[in-house]
Amino acid sequence: MSRKLPVFTLGVEEEYQIIDPESRDLRSHLSKIVDGAKIILNEQVKAEMHQSVVEVGTNICKNIHEAETEIKSLRTAIVGLADLQGLIVGGAGTHPFSKWQDQPITDDPRYHNIINEMQDAARSNLIFGMHCHVGIENREIGIQLMNQATYFLPHIFAISTNSPFWEGRNTGYKSYRTKVFDKFPRTGLPEYFESVSSYDDYLDTLVKTNCIDNPKKIWWDLRLHPFYDTIEFRICDMSLTVDETICIAAIIQAIVAKLYKLSMHNMSFNIYRLALIRENKFRAARYGIDGHMIDFGLHKEVETKLLIVELLEFIDDVVDELGSRDKINYVYEIMKNGTGADRQLKVFEETNDLTKVVDFITTEFTKGL
């Protein structure tokens, strides 16, 4: 008799662009949106380093349907509060033409410290992501799941790509956001750790030697969270629509559940060299779902879309128990209509006008609310 899976709780964080409806440029909300949101949403909203960014996070959700309800209400609340300030809201990994030099920094000691340490690498970090936490039973299991799930990061990332423009230029990448973030230390794919004690030793060493003042300053694409019983996927660009966010979060949850299920049967997924996974991450950033990635088992290039279909087959035996099949199946819509990056580029191709791209981003943000 097969054992029932534990509940893999979810927490989803999104970073929103606050935009001036006239200029379509990013605009400081002067903390009015965050202060207003805290009255109705408590700790579910916070300011980010740049004053034109608002970060929201769901409560701990028991399943993907709870997460969807929360994301919809968070988006609705922030759109309403922005409207009171004469501003609008959008979701993408970068703004199509805003210049980081023009964006004021939030007056907070935490951000002053980061700027002081990293200077222009921090000031120019005007990017927007979607992070997904999946609850785990204990940290020892968590570190093993992190090691194995790293292989799937480029697949998830390719589906999420939504930042083709930077400072008014078509960058040629489907996700330029990751290229901007690469300037930070302790970013990119996570290291391999044989045990949770070796992971904790690593964190302790960095804190003791004043590399970091707290373990949250490990900004990898995937990390065993230092304070919560979760593993946190951080590789994704901010999504245009709720449907995309929820689809990606459901896939992430299913990957963790499937790897956990293998461990229950004394099995595990192959651990591949980071140098190889890094090749796939680059291809995902450059081409999104339209390129090829490496199938390490076959030692050959395969269409990225075929690898995504293989991923769906891999997780298929857990999705019904998670109750997420309908949400995961939305990935077929993404593969048919393109990622956020593909759809932004299509608008630009048709109009040659980046303000029209911003209009598209802000319109898509409220779709389905």
CATH number reported for the structural domain that contains residue 214 in this entry: 3.30.590.20
Is 51 in contact with 44 (CB distance < 8 Å)?
no
- Tell me the residue type at 99: K
Mean pLDDT of 184-198: 93
How many domains does the structure of the chain reveal? 1
Which run of H or of E encompasses 293? Answer: strand 292-295
- Tell me the residue type at 291: G
Answer yes or no: is pLDDT of 109 > 50. yes
* Residue 313 pLDDT level (bands cut at 50, 70, 90): very high
* Residue 115 pLDDT level (bands cut at 50, 70, 90): confident
Our CA dihedral for 284, 287, 291, 297, rounded to 10 degrees, sits at -20
Is 153 a domain residue?
Answer: yes
Is 178 a domain residue?
Answer: yes
* C-alpha–C-alpha distance, residues 28 and 316, integer Å: 44
**What pLDDT, on a 0 to 100 scale, did the predictor assign at position 2?**
59
Is 145 a domain residue?
Answer: yes
- Tell me the residue type at 230: T
Is 312 a domain residue?
Answer: yes
Domain residues for the domain of 338 are: 10-365
* C-alpha–C-alpha distance, residues 72 and 58, integer Å: 10
Mean pLDDT score of the chain, rounded to an integer? 93
pTM above 0.75, yes or no: yes
Is 122 in contact with 114 (CB distance < 8 Å)?
yes
Is 97 a domain residue?
Answer: yes
Mean pLDDT of 46-68: 91
* C-alpha–C-alpha distance, residues 363 and 366, integer Å: 6
Tell me the per-residue pLDDT of 322-351, one tens digit each, with 9 for 90 and over.
999 999 999 999 999 999 999 999 999 999
Answer yes or no: is pLDDT of 24 > 60. yes
Mean pLDDT of 140-147: 95
Which stretches of 150-264 are DSSP H helices?
153-160, 177-181, 196-208, 242-264
Is 174 a domain residue?
Answer: yes
Is 2 a domain residue?
Answer: no
Encoded tokens for 277: 């996974």
Q: Which of 117, 106, 128, 154 is nearest to 274 (CA)?
A: 154
Strands (E), 136-229: 165-166, 169-170, 187-188, 219-220, 222-224
**Maximal C-alpha separation, the chain:** 62
Is 5 a domain residue?
Answer: no
**What pLDDT, on a 0 to 100 scale, did the predictor assign at position 102?**
86
* C-alpha–C-alpha distance, residues 289 and 287, integer Å: 6
